Amino acid sequence: MDVRIEESWKQRLQPEFEKDYFKALTSFVKSEYEQQQVFPPGKLIFNAFELCPFNKAKVVIIGQDPYHGPEQAHGLCFSVNDDVKFPPSLMNIFKEIKSDIGTETPQSGNLTRWAEQGVLLLNATLTVRAHQAGSHQRRGWEEFTDAAIRVLAEENEHIVFILWGSYAQRKGAFIDRNKHLVLSSAHPSPLSAYNGFFGNKHFSKANEYLKAHGKEEIIW
């Protein structure tokens, strides 16, 4: 199956595209886009991979589901398009960055600038029906994104994996802690941010690790 995805990822994920689950997923997603309002726009489903090629990935942040409101999702977890109001989790992420390293809250919630520096902003599920959170879960996306995380972790060393909340932590449970830095805490959602997200200092810790291993730090 020919999937339009960034070439370095395509080479490594090609075996997934030939599996039955991915063919069923493709059929389901196509029918959803034809019959429903689905986010993100079809051309941005694999945006996280497009903006962060395999060999440039230095940090991985794992989300769960795309935003399901109009104009929000554009294929990067926690990120929203320019001129879109910050969702609560993203606002809390910016609060923690300011507390951790002093960077002021930006004008835009568009995290493309992180992706282009080597931050893979990967949701576990890459599509969602409008206003229906979780509507495309358990259709095959999770298996596909597991494969992407696995190949990245196995073929590289010294990547920072940031796992916020129990869902992301379960998804990243197999990552070799001897080869990579795994940072875990509560989720930045207002429901849990005060239970360990605030004060986790993941942004400075990530940069310290990257610097220690000869990699350029992220401008958060």
pLDDT in tens, 86-99: 999 999 999 999 99
For helices 202-212 and 88-101, what crossing angle results, to 10°?
60
**pLDDT reported for residue 2:** 83
Task: Point out the catalytic residue in the list 65, 82, 83, 100.
Answer: 65
For residue range 20-47, list pLDDT tens digits in order: 999 999 999 999 999 999 999 999 999 9
With tokens 């990935």, the residue in question is: 57
Assigned token pair, 50: 């497009």
Q: Tell me the C-alpha distance between 189 and 58, whole Å.
A: 24
Cα separation of 47 and 68, whole Å? Answer: 16
Specify whether the backbone of 140 is left (phi greater than 0), alpha (psi in -120 to 50) or beta. Answer: left
> Active-site residue 65, yes or no?
yes
Q: Kindly state the greatest CA–CA separation across the chain.
A: 50
The pLDDT of residue 155: 97
Cis ω before 40 (30° cut-off from 0): yes
> Distance (Å, rounded) from C-alpha 60 to C-alpha 170?
15
Q: With a cut of 90, say whether residue 1 has pLDDT above it.
A: no
Is residue 215 within 8 A of residue 59, CB to CB? The reply is no
What would the two tokens of residue 101 be?
A: 């390293």
Residue 184 has pLDDT above 90, yes or no: yes
Q: Is the pLDDT of residue 100 over 90?
A: yes
In this prediction, residue 168 carries a pLDDT of: 97
Tallying the residues shown for the chain, one arrives at: 220
CA-nearest of 14, 164, 173 to 77 is 164
Q: What does the pLDDT look like over 121-167, one tens digit per residue? A: 999 999 999 999 999 999 999 999 999 999 999 999 999 999 999 99
- Token pair 């493309």 is found at 112
* Whether the model pTM is above 0.75: yes
Strand order in the sheet with 181-185: 119-123, 59-63, 160-164, 181-185
